Amino acid sequence: MSNSPVSILGIETSCDETSAAVVADGCHVLSSVVAGQDELHSKFGGVVPEIASRAHIERINPVIAQALDRAGVNPSDLAAIAVSNRPGLIGSLLIGVTAAKTLAWAWDKPLIDIDHVQAHIYAACLDADFPLPFPAVALVVSGGHTSLYFCQGPLDVIELGSTADDAAGEAFDKVAAILKLGYPGGPLIDKLSSRGNPQAVNFPRSWLSKESLGFSFSGIKTSVLYHVRGQNAQAKNVHLDAATKADIAASFQQAVVDVLVGKTMLALKQRSTDRVILGGGVCANTSLRAAIQRACEQAGTQLFLAPVRYCTDNAAMVAGLAYHKLQANQIADLSLTAHT
Ligand code: KG4
Ligand code: ZN
């Protein structure tokens, strides 16, 4: 039997990152190339799907070539080609799916379809020396998703609750727009918050019902809007000094973090589990990482945080999770398509 590593090429184009990566044996990242598009979307304050699809078309081939080159592998070394084909923007997903199907056919490799959200959960074990232990509760918190899951394996994931309206990352982006900070807003609010007082404004925490594992972030965004503009939501030219902006950013961030941590700890209690996994773009947030760490230490819970470099969209998480689908012989065929 050969001991050579099982190297998989992953492709990720579900939103506005064009990414390819090669991962060996499910966790050793040999290369991870991410071409972001922030500069294309920032003037619109959010991702414009048609612009994203066109940029993916231009970038996908060079990004894949770079990923193979940096990993030092040839197509013949690959065990499979994996692609995230759901959920996401349909035009964006189709570029990655088409590239993956073409390469799987041309290089005669197994094709593996990956759920983008499951891949965000899996990111917590990339570059780590251990497999993720299960069962565990997972929180995926990003620009498109805010959901809690109960996981009994990397591929055995049940949703426990989700957001009824905005995702947490979407709220970060919208609040950054209200504060005129720029796009994407999450990292800018994170940075600004370090200079603000998180207790300055008592923004509402949306707990929904006492035992609910659902989320809602549209109310807090509206609260910030009224706080900034007074009762006149149309008043777009309100001037805020730097210290006030920092206080609002820090208070907003604290309210979101309180809810994310509170509901995650509630899910752990409901599921009688003492392991928690966090992934997704907002999991890069300094305050969220510190707060969940504190809460888990107090509760004696094991915490598995995705490394910051694998929180936002990337293909390494896709290639890593694909290893488990390959082991389980869950192979797609060339009729594979994308789902929003
Ligand atoms: O996972 P991701 O790249 O895309 C989706 O699957 O949605 O997440 C992007 C989101 C954006 O909303 C961005 O503002 C947010 O993650 N984000 C952050 C931070 N870094 C990225 N939010 C809060 N703090 C951060 N440091
Ligand atoms: Zn994502």
Q: Where are the domains of the chain?
A: 7-127+313-327, 136-306
d(C-alpha 82, C-alpha 10), whole Å: 5
The domains spanning 7-127+313-327 and 136-306 adopt the same CATH topology? yes
Q: At what angle do helices 90-107 and 49-71 cross, to 10 degrees?
A: 30
Total residues found in the chain within this entry: 340
The whole-angstrom distance between residue 87's C-alpha and the CA centroid of its chain comes to: 12
Q: Write out residues in the chain with pLDDT < 50, as ranges.
A: none
Distance 254 CA to ligand 1 centre (A): 16
Helix (H, G, I), strand (E, B) or coil at 62: helix
- CB-CB contact of 220 with 203 (8 Å): yes
pLDDT of residue 307: 98
Residue nearest to atom 3 of ligand 1 (CA): 312
The topology under which CATH files domain 7-127+313-327 is Nucleotidyltransferase; domain 5 (3.30.420)
Strand partners of residue 215 = 163
Q: Which ligand is nearest to the CA of 177?
A: 1
Ligand 1 centroid to 253 CA: how many Å? 13
Q: Given this model, what pLDDT does residue 139 score?
A: 98
Mutate to test the pocket of ligand 1, among 86, 162, 172 (most ligand atoms within 8 A of CB): 172
CA nearest ligand 1 atom 10, residue? 143
Cβ(183)–Cβ(176) under 8 Å? yes
Ligand 1 nearest atom to the CA of residue 253, by list position: 23
Distance 170 CA to ligand 1 centre (A): 8
Determine the distance separating the centroid of ligand 2 and the alpha carbon of 314, expressed in angstroms. Answer: 8
Element (H, E) at 305: strand 302-305
Question: What's the rounded Cα separation, in Å, for the pair 133 and 277?
Answer: 10
Distance from the alpha carbon of residue 173 to the mean position of ligand 1, in angstroms: 8
Please give the pLDDT value at position 233: 66
Crossing angle of helices 185-193 and 286-299, rounded to 10°: 70
- Of 19, 122, 221, 282, which is best to mutate to test ligand 1, by the most ligand atoms within 8 angstroms of its C-beta? 282
Q: Please tell me the predicted confidence (pLDDT) of residue 129.
A: 84
Cα 156 to Cα 137, 140, 150, 302, 321, distances in angstroms: 12, 15, 8, 19, 12
Closest ligand by atom to 141 CA: 1
Can you name the CATH fold of 136-306?
Answer: Nucleotidyltransferase; domain 5 (3.30.420)
Q: Is 15 in the pocket of ligand 1 (CB under 6 A)?
A: yes
- Crossing angle of helices 242-270 and 286-299, rounded to 10°: 40
Mutate to test the pocket of ligand 1, among 41, 84, 86, 142 (most ligand atoms within 8 A of CB): 142
For ligand 1, atom 21, name the residue with the nearest CA. Answer: 281
How far does residue 24's CA lie from ligand 2's centre (Å)? Answer: 22
Is the CB of 88 inside a 6 Å radius of any atom of ligand 1? Answer: no
Instruction: Give the separation between CA 81 and CA 110, rounded to whole angstroms.
Output: 6
Ligand 1 center from residue 23 Cα (angstroms): 23
